Structure 1
Amino acid sequence: MSKLIVSGVNVRQVLSMLLLLCCSWNPMVSGVAAQSLSMLRADGPTILDANNRPVVLRGINVGGWLLQESYILETDSLNSQWRIQQAMLRTMPEAAVEDFYRQYRANYITKADIDFIAKQGFNCVRLPFHYDLFLTAQQRRARTKALQNPKNVEGYVQALSTWYDQNQLFTDPKALDGFRIIDDVLNWCAANKLYVILDLHAAPGGQGADRNISDCLVPLDLWKRRDAKGRLIYQDLTVRLWEKLSARYKADARVAMYDLINEPNGMTTANGLTGNNSELNVLYSRLIDAVRKQGDQHLLMLEGNGYGNEYTNLSPDKLQSKDKRNLVYNAHRYWCPNDSQTGDPNPLQINLIHNLVAFRDQWKVPVWVGETGENSNEWFSAAVQELNARNIGWCHWTLKRVAGPTSLLRVPAYGSILTAEGRTALLRNSLFSNCTINKDVIAALTQPTVAQPFTTHTLPGTIQAADYDLGRNGTAYFDEYAARTDFTKHTPHNQGRAYRNDGVDIEAITDAASNGFAVGHTTAGEWLNYTVTIPKAGTFAVQARLVNTTKEPTKLSLKLDSKEVVTTITAASSDTWQTVSGGTVTLPAGKHILQLYVEQPGAVISWLQFTVPGKAAQGGQ
């Protein structure tokens, strides 16, 4: 944070910042979670509520709901929502496809999901939505014809142009799904004192070259497509849509801010654009003016080119709009370093924390991380700690994913969306009550500095190897590769891609004597901590369930409270699972940290078992 200068200082701003610094984030009372919602505004780099209290927005995106992204649904080969729909339309009538999407929107996010977000201590929800939800059924039918056949795209554009001229777009809030769903979310969130960020995630025409993000029929059409009158018609539609949204919500304090366009990308000279963001400047300035003309003073968030991060010609001094009030600048942080010393040589590229803080301090505007996630728990905790320390808000991507370890909720696999059985299963599995809570992800986001038990371990008993403590790398466990900080390198942090989201390599196994998961890819020097309770001191027989398919023997040791080795376990090479004895150990009563340490690599470890000699295992396999 920049130094405070006494001479000429804005006293109210300084007091606000000091108050914010003194209030560390309580995950159960996050920012405004215990306060009534009021309209937010910007005061220099700080967001304040109506009582001039600083507000740091920390929340969750509900991605994959009002715009399907292929990887969220495990339909990667289909690439985007319109291609999913295109594939479905080959075997289903259009009415059946529309009915499926009505059911999908009714099931995927409900009030139960919003209640859950609030209970974790977050104070806002970012709502990504598709512009087609603000079309009538007839208008959406014209878009469906265009996605079925590229030859129909021009006809769709001309239809939009006609509807635009006749003022037939976005005009009946009661009849349009988009307005109805926003109203529902606002009600659900207000009941939990959660702010909502309205995010135009798929803008008319498509704001980038990435189909999966913008669901564009033709890449970059927002910036390039002209109608028969020579107008950039998709930009006119975008302005019209925000005019209608603003007219409806301009006095609604439940809305924290408008995210005008999500993740512009591919705006390069190679793609026929200027390469200096001048197109973004023009449209953002139009949008700012259109919203302000409504008498709407909501916070307006701008997203730079390059997936929301690059602001050449978009800093406040460059914007064509004369009204610079209540602007917020965005960063989307994925697969990048979290230390505050690493910076980008381009000061207008602000996804790195060093640049983000410098941009905020230079231009005296609030900054906010609208998306962050898709990494390991270690990366999450490091990012959250650094951002929280600098009073920068953030929003985790995303609430739920199919078979997803990085989200708060894991939707069970459902098969194929192109079969009736698969669609039925998806509608059922995506309900909140049928999702699995990824408590390790939640702990990483809400308690990033705390190590705590993942589950209860009482000895005598069985400790599943994958049930090591929650916490950061080097505190709850140690793994040589625990977070991805280079977007060009795709090595997974969890080689097994199962169960949990740490650097620990957990894999699914079929051993009948196991709970279905094991820790593998072990390297010498790696370790796992388990908080154990021993009601009564005693001597215990130790066994481990493991397999060692390497040519060399593997060796594990057990330490108590990170001080002394209490026993070692060795196993020769074997192609099958084996239960190996670790001798006996004498352990004191009380709560302790038991550490499983890899002396020599090779073991894939399912569980450890502690029994009283001569007695059956308690809770064993």
Structure 2
Amino acid sequence: MSMLRAEGPKIVNSNGKEMLLRGFNLGGWLLQESYILQTDTLNCQWRIKQGLLRTMSEEQVEAFYRSYRANFITKADIDFLAKQGFNCVRLPFHYDLFLTAAQRHARTEVIRNPTNTRKLDAYVQSLSTWYDQNQLFTDPKLEGFQYIDKVLNWCAANNLYVILDLHAAPGGQGTDRNINDTFLPLDLWKRRDAKGRAIYQDITVRLWEKLAARYQKDSRVAMYDLLNEPHNLNEAHGMSSDNKELSTLYARLIKAVRSQGDQHLLLLEGNGYGNEYTNLTPDKLAAPEKQNLVYNGHRYWCTNAPEATDPNPNQINLIKNLVTFRDRWQVPVWVGETGENSNEWFAAAVQGLNANNIGWCHWNIKRVDSPASLLRVKSYGSVLTPSGRAALLRNVQFANCVPSRDVAAALTQPSNFTAPFASLTLPGTIQAVDYDLGRDGVAYQDEYSAKTDYRSNKPWNQGGAYRNDGVDIQKIDDSASSGFAVSHLAAGEWLNYTVTVTMPGTYAVQLRVQPAATPGRLTLKLGDTTLGSVMTGQQSDTIAWQTLTLTAKSLPAGRHTLRLCIDQPVEQLSWLRFLSDNASTAGGQ
């Protein structure tokens, strides 16, 4: 591994070889976000801590967080990422991990009652004193440094680069406290200490000085992400309309890093959750030193159409805007976050970025009870109960997480990729939810398979269970089923299954269905051969689930593609069971 640098619009290594960084974010680890842990009502990390402090001592809360951090990400997680073919990780962290125990105690006193302005003012005054007395970030054994060092070692063992990401800055860089764990909106920009200083900004600069001093020659670090997702820096919130405050802080941060003799790539994030660069372009950025800068985009819930553009050329979350910005200013661009959608969107996004030689880092490696993450954490109860916390500490461990093969395939395979999701042999039972891996139009067809407009709340998967495709999958309560079913099957949709016929001949095919409000019709095909169709009744108080049968003649031995076509709508399909005339019974899959 070698130090990376910018060469025109490319990121290159010491040999001048272009490096396309493609990886995963380790979000939810060194900064908890409520939705990752399914604690949305608590909204952010300090509110989770506030809830814990109602029944636990401060020492017990700190002990829980040490255990949480020890379990959530380990070398096993990094090894797994490397085996999937990724070459970097982005490490989001909270600034409070670089505080001493005594300094963090002062912040905890605010957490107990953040509406008490005297406590918050006292904390800010303490920060000012520690800043003036050079007592911030000086201990090399601080937790933040220890965790960065661990990740660097784990990643280097797998030839993965690391991007250091200040995800929750002192004071908070925006209004969304779930992201930046702030007590008051935009306090990074607005707070002044008794001396009139923008003290949170001074402390942010000091933190990056210390990080640069420690890691200046460390080639395992690809980039410093100076400030995650600044947002709502605008006139409506009492700030300028042209990113003046952000440009000024970036100039200070760049100078702070370079003053340590550190030439690492520096990742800039624009206003508006990391995307908008008015007056931050290389010709207008206030910083005098502009070498080795990389411009960032965060891509969520937007179109992947290659021709789509935003009318603002400095808004660069759309792929064409990213390419145009890169080519115009001859600077590298990199997508530091992308995800939180369906596999169809994931695949289209990364394939579009790959085609334009733009690196990316997917969000996120782990989430509780979510098929959209690479590793699904099982539900654990409530973090506010002892049993819930104990279960959480167990469930987040790599060995207890459920890998999402469909997510990995969407991020790493070409557009025409398809493969079996499960080993399916006939005679036997096919669970309807075990259709093949692959994109919409390749492995399945669904009328709505990805969210491409952030304003739309229509779910791409009505049910959100089992897998993360556009196919609607729900948990069901049917004694004759496995617990999951494909639901909301609309006319024109279809599902492919790779099957191996071990016993050629005629089969009776049973389909376990729940009718829709109108009569439905399903057709089965094996390759180009139509096997037959079944009609369903109408949903009623007396008709819940039906087992329908058709006869499929002359199924040849070998490996085939079975396609289930929806001719007329059906509410749900649980399984398909193939019973051979040559066998009295059939085993389940």
With the shorter chain as reference, the TM-score category is over 0.9
Cα distance in structure 1, aligned partners of 2:195 and 2:372: 47
Indicate the SS of the match to 1:441.
Answer: helix
Tell me which residue corresponds to 2:187. 221
Whether 1:493 and 2:460 are equivalent positions in the alignment is yes
Rounded to whole Å, the distance in 2 between the matches of 1:136 and 1:71 is: 28
Letter in 2 for 1:583: T
Counterpart in the other structure of 2:550: 582
Q: How far apart are 1:535 and its partner, in Å?
A: 3.0
Residue type of the alignment partner of 1:347:
P
Give the Å deviation of 1:616: 3.7
Distance in 2 between residues matched to 1:130 and 1:412, nearest whole Å: 25
Q: Which residue number corresponds to residue 580 of structure 2?
A: 612
Which of 92, 109, 121 lines up with 2:73 in the alignment?
109
Q: Tell me the TM-score normalised to structure 2 length.
A: 0.98
Match of 1:96 in 2: 60
Deviation of 1:614 (Å): 6.1
- How many pairs align? 582
Give 1:599's match in structure 2, choosing from 560, 567, 570: 567
For 1:495, the aligned partner's letter is: Q
Matched, 1:62 2:62: no
2:12 counterpart of 1:45 = no
SS of equivalent residue, structure 2 residue 152: helix
**What TM-score results when the alignment is normalised by the length of structure 1?**
0.93
Partner residue, 1:241: 207
State the SS of the aligned residue for 2:338.
strand
Corresponding residue for residue 571 of structure 1: 536
Secondary structure of the residue aligned to 1:307 is: helix
CA distances 1:503-530 after superposition (whole Å, capped 9, x unpaired): 1000011222222110010100100001
Q: Quick check: 1:147 aligned with 2:111?
A: yes
Amino acid at match of 2:77: D
Alignment of 1:49-198 (within 5 A): 49-150=13-114, 151=116, 152-174=119-141, 176-198=142-164
Q: What residue identity is the alignment partner of 1:64?
A: G
| Residue in structure 2 matching 1:265, options 225, 231, 246 | 231
- 8 Å contact from structure 2 (residues 12, 18) kept in 1: yes
Post-superposition CA distance 1:62-92 (Å, at most 9, x none): 1000000000000001110001111111111
Q: SS where residue 139 of structure 1 aligns?
A: helix
Aligned to 1:551: 517
> Equivalent residue for 1:428?
394
Q: Distance in 2 between matches of 1:173 and 1:358?
A: 42
Give, in angstroms, the shift of residue 593 of structure 1: 0.9
Q: Which range is displaced more, 570-579 or 597-606?
A: 570-579
In terms of mean alpha carbon deviation, does 100-109 or 142-151 score higher? 142-151
1:454 is aligned to 421
SS in 1 for 2:485: strand
Report the 3-state secondary structure (helix = DSSP H, G, I; strand = E; otherwise coil) of the residue aligned with 1:301: strand
**Partners of 2:420 and 2:572 in 1: CA distance:** 22
Is 1:354 the counterpart of 2:348 in the alignment?
A: no
Contact 1:59 1:126 in 2 (8 A): yes
Question: Is it true that 1:522 corresponds to 2:472 in the alignment?
Answer: no
Structure 1 CA distance, aligned partners of 2:558 and 2:265?
53
Give percent identity, aligned residues only.
66
Matched, 1:321 2:287: yes
AA aligned to 1:522 is L
Distance 1:445 1:272 in 2: 41
Contact 1:464 1:608 (8 Å CA) reproduced: yes
Compared CA separation, residues 397 and 384, structure 1 to 2 (3 A): same
Seen in structure 2, the aligned counterparts of structure 1 residues 567 and 105 have a Cα distance that, compared at 3 Å, is same
Cα offset for 1:460? 1.1
Question: Map of 1:405-484 to 2, 5 A cutoff?
Answer: 405-449=371-415, 450-484=417-451
Contact in 2 for aligned 1:147/1:153 (Cα 8 Å) = no
Cα shift at 1:486? 0.2
Aligned-residue CA RMSD (Å): 1.0
Q: Is the 8 A contact 1:66 1:130 kept in 2?
A: yes
State the match for 1:368 in structure 2: 334
Gaps of 5+ in 2: none
**Is the 8 Å Cα contact of residues 531 and 551 (structure 2) preserved in structure 1?**
no
Note the alpha carbon deviations across 1:327-372, whole angstroms, 9 max, x for none. 0000000000001100000000000001100000000000000000
Cα gap change, 1:551 to 1:317, in 2 (>3 Å): closer
Flag structure 1 segments of 5+ consecutive residues without an equivalent.
Answer: 1-36
Instruction: Tell me which residue corresponds to 2:474.
Output: 507
Per the alignment, do residues 243 and 617 of structure 1 end up closer, same or farther by CA in structure 2, a change over 3 Å counting? farther
**1:398 aligned onto 2:364:** yes
Bigger CA drift: 447-456 or 339-348? 447-456
Distance of 2:583 and 2:443 partners within structure 1? 31
Q: Distance in 1 between matches of 2:140 and 2:452?
A: 44
In structure 2, what is the Cα distance between the partners aligned to 1:228 and 1:398? 40
Whether the 8 Å contact between 2:503 and 2:580 is mirrored in structure 1 is no
Shift of 1:465: 0.4
For residue 310 of structure 2, give the secondary structure of its aligned residue in structure 1: coil
1:335 equivalent among 301, 305, 308 = 301
How far apart, in 1, do the equivalents of 2:62 and 2:353 lie? 41
CA distance in 1, matches of 2:241, 2:105: 35
Q: Return 579-588 or 155-164, whichever deviates more.
A: 579-588
CA contact (8 A) 1:123 1:194 kept: yes
Per the TM alignment, residue 57 of structure 1 is displaced from its structure 2 partner at its CA by: 0.1
Check whether the contact 2:505–2:581 (CA below 8 A) recurs between aligned residues: no
Contact 2:173 2:230 in 1 (8 A): yes
Amino acid at match of 2:418: A
1:351-404: per-residue Cα shift (whole Å, max 9, x none)?
000110000000000000000000000000001111000000000000000001
SS across alignment from 2:311: coil
Runs of 4+ in structure 1 deviating by more than 3 angstroms, as ranges, are: none
CA distance in 2, matches of 1:96, 1:619: 51
- What is the 5 A alignment of 1:529-548? 529-548=496-515
8 A Cα contact 1:610 1:617, kept in partner:
no
Tell me which amino acid in the other structure corresponds to 2:572: V
Cα deviation, residue 425, structure 1: 0.4
Q: In 2, Cα distance between the equivalents of 1:278 and 1:552?
A: 60
On the 8 A contact 1:222/1:232 being kept in 2, the answer is: yes
